Chain A
């Protein structure tokens, strides 16, 4: 099953080893459906993260007590009217499950497209990895419901952004621009230094650390001590600042190579992290009130926290969703940096 015919293996190896040399017709044309499905997965998973974030914001994770069904019904056969006109908690929890199922179908489609279109071997494995990740994410959500365990809700929340990042990587590596980089590399005024890769790895690690820390705060256990909670908050804030300082450095470094496919996402990263810091501050304010450190601002006095207000919930959920966006963008920058390094090495050889 796993063995590949000798002729195909050699073709694969050629493609894998020499990503810079597309076969006739170009993989971009050959992987058209895989690329389209990858884009679709990106467009579905980010809203899925939003809806999942809303589920946690509204404490609706246990609005449906069973899994994989919904109140005894098959997931897809739950009455539409009860879903749409029932309680809001049920609406978003069941909607989250339905959207997750659609993502699962798209992930299956990606694997099929990768095999049918004879994509590069590692891309095929990437699609298989995405499918497994989507299935695992669904199972984690199911375990969270069946055990009624908030820790699994936290793990479920931490794993979702990884799935999103993988989908984004799939969309990038199957795109036309992935192959058109050759021309850009030929005109590169200055190749990237090795340590730029290290600088590109750091945002990925730090943004994921931030996601884990944020999940710890969001799914905090009642028995967590105030000191532990305070420590997590402090590390979360410091790491956010470090990450934001790192992003302009990364932007300047990758911009030197003159490749827009690399410098553009690095530029977005600065914007995303800056926005995320504002959203994080907003999330704290709408959850715990106006912080003393912002007392110097005139409009904070008398701020009233509103439990589960609509705008407040959107701010908190946006903080979760933009966190995933930062991780995915960091991962894309890293992948593009590695690609750039690889192509330069290939050209010089």
Chain B
């Protein structure tokens, strides 16, 4: 015992600095519980507590994550993620003699995205834009329609290429296996987070949670003890929970079918750039309204992304009202920050700048932001663009950033 005394100052110092206790539980989504409570005027403490317990029972912990195949009905959903990949991405950071890295999410992502992928990691507050909150199931950079989930390929591409102009790095140096493990873990966190959000909402809206639990048939606690007296398999709570999980997983499974088709590119010539310029500054596309003349971003705008609007404008709260926002910040929200339209003349496209990607960006918009999607028709109409017109816009955008061989002056001529 005496011999161990020399270690006392070390342990005291460790206690002072904050011990590296493994995070044993995912933090509960208090922010969404508060949003639901504010929007429905119903206390959500019990609903949030029971939802968190169900989510942990079904999805496991940061040390032992699990994919709840036993609760899913679709075969494709069961194979959506590889449980082995989840174990590689979760837990503490180490590597072996074969250079296989473990704890990949903790090694590469957790400082910004947080333990539960809530976009609220330690360094999040100092990033602009804030890191993505996976729990809403909304992703900006993807090849699919605005309301659809991204494909695995989309997530892999973002991991490989990074997002220029933001804190999101390029992980091009990682092996394919490591990247796929991270993609699986991101999907897992997103499904888990969206399921938790949905369960809190459903507990209040459908199951009748208020200040106390509803009757056992509708109580989420029956899901925690299926061997008990309660008829868990047929209970309302079980049906609601499984239906919700199937719906979320189904959206991920269907993502590949939701990819925006890109037609053959039209000729990239001066005439196309001129037409694109007119469309950019015209009434139908009206890109100039936000991005400014020539995409110079010199337009005064006041808008926020959907993650911020969720706890502010959609609850009739002014984002700049510090007192009104304070409870949400205490529940985990980051400080509301305006979103600004991109300057298009510098050639920096965060989600990729090749022709196909820009085509999809114009058609699908950017989910979670004010950038809208477009209605695409076979022929140009007064309210929608044709496929050829979208390509004209793409050619004009390329010309702005110098990708196109023609300068602005030549286009003017």
Q: Using a CB–CB distance below 8 Å, which chain A residues touch chain B?
A: 59-63, 65, 71, 82, 86-90, 140, 143, 148-152, 154-155, 216, 220-230, 233, 288-292, 301-309
Contacts and interface: CB of A to CB of B under 8 A. Distances in A.
A155 B14 CA distance: 8
A305 B164 CA distance: 7
21 contacts: A59-B101, A60-B95, A87-B99, A140-B10, A148-B92, A151-B17, A151-B20, A152-B10, A155-B10, A155-B17, A221-B20, A222-B121, A222-B122, A225-B122, A226-B122, A288-B123, A301-B343, A304-B163, A305-B170, A306-B172, A306-B173
B97 A301 contact: no
Interface string B329-369: 00000100000000100111000000000000000000000
Given A86-B99, A289-B127, 5 more contacts: A151-B14, A222-B106, A229-B126, A230-B126, A301-B348
B121 A62 contact: no
B171 A307 contact: yes
Chain B interface, DSSP helix/strand/loop, else mixed = loop
A25 B164 CA distance: 66
Given A304-B164, A306-B172, A222 B346 contact: no
B170 A289 contact: no
Contact of A302 (B95, B110, B348): B348
Given A151-B19, A224-B122, A304 B162 contact: yes
Contact of B107 (A59, A71, A220, A229): A59
Contacts of B92: 62, 148
B167 A220 contact: no
Contacts of A292: 128
B115 interface: yes
A292 B97 CA distance: 41
Contacts of A220: 111, 122-123
Contacts of A151: 14, 17-20
A226 B124 CA distance: 6
Nearest to B126: A230
- Per DSSP, chain A at the interface is loop
B126 A233 contact: yes
B375 interface: no
A229 B97 CA distance: 34
Nearest to A149: B20
Contacts of A221: 18, 20, 122
Nearest to A212: B17
A222 B115 contact: yes
Contacts of A89: 95, 99
A301 B297 CA distance: 14
Interface of B: 10, 13-14, 17-20, 23, 92-99, 101, 106-108, 110-112, 114-115, 120-128, 162-174, 334, 343, 346-348
A226 B123 contact: yes
A251 to B, nearest CB: 33
A112 B357 CA distance: 69
A71 to B, nearest CB: 6
B166 A289 contact: yes
A69 to B, nearest CB: 14
Contacts of A60: 95
Contact of A306 (B93, B108, B169): B169
A226 B346 contact: no
A302 B346 contact: yes
A151 B10 CA distance: 10
Contacts of B111: 220, 222
B399 to A, nearest CB: 18
Contacts of A140: 10
User: Considering the complex of A and B, which 10 residue pairs feature the smallest CB-CB distances, nearest first?
Assistant: A302-B348, A87-B99, A62-B94, A289-B167, A305-B169, A226-B125, A229-B122, A151-B20, A224-B122, A307-B169
A214 B156 CA distance: 32
Nearest to A225: B122
A149 B20 CA distance: 6
Nearest to B172: A306
A229 B95 contact: no
Given A223-B23, A307-B171, A229 B114 contact: no
Contacts of A90: 95, 97, 99
A306 B94 CA distance: 21
A27 B321 CA distance: 71
A226 B95 contact: no
A87 B347 contact: no
A304 B352 CA distance: 12
B114 A222 contact: yes
A336 to B, nearest CB: 30
B66 to A, nearest CB: 20
B13 A150 contact: no
A227 B124 CA distance: 9
B14 A302 contact: no
B126 A288 contact: yes
A301 B165 contact: yes
A87 B94 CA distance: 13
Contacts of A150: 20
Centre residue among B13, B123, B172 by max chain A CB count within 10 A: B123
B227 to A, nearest CB: 33
B98 A87 contact: yes
B14 A152 contact: yes
A301 B120 CA distance: 24
Contacts of B123: 220, 226, 229, 288
Contacts of B120: 226
Contact of A305 (B13, B20, B126, B168): B168
